[in-house]
Amino acid sequence: MGPQHPMTHGLWNMRVQVDGETITDAAPEIGYLHRGYEKIMEVREFQKNVVLTDRLCYVSSITWSHAYCLAVEKMMGIDVPDRAKWMRVISLELQRVASHLMWLAAFGPDLGLLTGLLWALRERELFLDLIQVMAGARMNQNYPRIGGVRNDFPENFDAMCRRSIEHFREKLVEYRKLFHDSKVFHMRTRGVGRISTADAIDWGVTGPNLRACGVNVDLRRLDPYESYEDVDFEPQVWKGREGGDSYARFICRFNELEESCGIILQAFEKMPKDGAFRVKPPRRAEGEGFARTEDSRGEALFYVCGDGDDRPYRVKIRSPVFCTMAATPIMLRGNKLADVVAILGSIDVCVGEMDK
């Protein structure tokens, strides 16, 4: 299946071996979108790489460029101002909601639910508008900076966010009726693509896909970065029996929409009203540093080495989808061929970050 297939959401290939209708084995084939990021970044200055990391995943640019900035800050030993930390939290959560809505918009049509596509993309515009007001662009915002963020929030940004979130929460009720209450949706997703907790940890599955197995691991809570320590939120973990299937992954992601909205509103109340939003980073740096963040798809890790030049000596990108992809054969084995889209749609593939 692939590289040109409606379920791939990008360009990759899944070799599926079938016995009748049942999948006996599968092997992902990736690399179609390999652009040599780690090599290109070695010849660009630290700050300029933010533009590149934005394009790692066009659906969640801010989370990726933020992870890179965080790693460089750890290497340089910079402390970000308090206000910038809160601004980052808000921008990250806005991006997370937009990213999850893009996933929902892709997951719906995978199951033949075209209403999901239209609704989710409609609500995603709300959040893209907010991001546009905040950073000046709908996508590839180039917003985080090494040492803070690029610009201050516009006037009345908190009121805009509140209004949009209020509207979005009303819509979430309708979403529940569309997805949760649909018998067909349950039949397509329940019990397919199951992966056990031990396998998921062993293969390096992270993020909502791991929480769907009932493992309470959210790096925003377990290894807090920025201001997440002071935010009161509940990591979305599958609490029922027999998790780890497509439905559990859907539930975890879907509940994160609501949770992220709560974080945004809290952050506006807790953030300092004024203060610096950026510090000037040193131009050159030596040493090594790494940072891991909770991307919308899982654990994003950047490992940056410097040799005293104004460019990184080596950058390593740990993409959550790359690791989850290694575990897909386990999820697929034993399922029917028609369920492949229901399984691969639920893990939220983003080829840009997978192939680097």
Partner 1 sequence: MSAPALHPPITGRPVPGAEVEILAQIGSRFPDKVRDPSVVRPRVLKITIDRADLVEVARYLKDVLGFEHLSCVTAVDWKDHFESVYHLSNWYNGTILQVNAHIPYDDPRIDSLVPLWNAANYHEREAWDLMGVVYEGHPNLERILLPKDFKFHPLRKEFAQEVDRQYISRRKLKGGK
Comparison of 129 and 234: residue with beta carbon closer to partner 1: 234
Q: Does 245 bind partner 1 (CB under 8 A)?
A: no
Q: Which helix (H) or strand (E) holds 257?
A: helix 246-270
Task: Output 51 or 114, the one with its CB closest to partner 1.
Answer: 51
Burial of 202 (0-12, 13-18, 19+ CB in 10 A): exposed
226 within 8 A of 212, measured Cβ to Cβ: no
Binding mask 141-180 for partner 1 (x = CB under 8 A): ----------------------------------------
Task: Return contacts of 4-9, CB within 8 angstroms, 24+ apart.
Answer: 6/109, 6/110, 6/341, 7/110, 7/340, 7/341, 7/344, 7/345, 8/344, 8/349, 8/351, 9/106, 9/345, 9/349, 9/350, 9/351
CA angle at 9 for the pair 4 and 14, rounded to the nearest 5°: 55
Q: How far is the CB of 323 from partner 1 (least distance, A)?
A: 6
58 binds partner 1 (CB under 8 A): no
Single out the residue of 17, 22, 24, 43 in contact with partner 1 (rule: CB under 8 A). 43
We find the least distance from the C-beta atom of residue 9 to partner 1, in angstroms, to be 18
Closest C-alpha to 221, from 171, 259, 277: 259
3-state secondary structure of 356: coil
Contact between 323 and partner 1 per CB under 8 A: yes
**In this complex, which beta carbon is closest to partner 1, that of residue 148 or of residue 329?**
329
Minimum separation from the CB atom of position 152 to partner 1 (A):
25
CA nearest neighbour of 59 among 121, 134, 151: 121
Nearer to partner 1, 191 or 204 (CB): 204
203 binds partner 1 (CB under 8 A): yes
Q: Would you tell me which residues interact with partner 1 (CB under 8 A)? A: 30-31, 34, 36, 38-39, 42-43, 74, 198, 201-204, 206, 215-218, 221-224, 235, 237, 290, 292, 299, 301, 303, 305, 313-314, 316, 318, 322-323, 325-326, 355-356
